[in-house]
């Protein structure tokens, strides 16, 4: 029963608290406001991918693959 309550509490937190700003952005008519967060996530992902590729290249050159 405790496990069930924990998962319900987590679901309630993410639905009502964590995603509340996204609900406000969803009903906005401004395209820039809606797309800014997506672009931030895309830039972070691209930066991580570039870092990962540089690390792979460094280890490949060192022969410690």
Q: How confident is the prediction along the chain (65 residues), in pLDDT tens digits per residue? A: 777 899 999 999 998 898 888 888 888 888 888 888 889 999 999 999 999 999 999 999 988 87
DSSP for the chain? -HHHHHHHHHHHHIIIIITHHHHHHHT---HHHHHHHHHHHHHHHHHHHHHHHHHHHHHHHHT--
What pLDDT sits at residue 30?
Answer: 86
Question: For the whole model, what pTM was predicted?
Answer: 0.60
Structure tokens at 11: 């679901």
**Domain ranges, ordered by start, for the chain:** 2-62
């Amino acid at each position: 029963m405790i496990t069930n309550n924990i998962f319900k509490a987590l679901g309630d937190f993410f639905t009502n608290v964590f995603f509340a700003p996204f609900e406000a952005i969803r009903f906005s008519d401004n395209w820039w406001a809606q797309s800014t967060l997506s672009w931030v996530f895309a830039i972070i992902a691209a930066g991580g991918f570039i870092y990962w590729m540089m690390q792979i290249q460094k280890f490949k050159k060192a022969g410690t693959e």
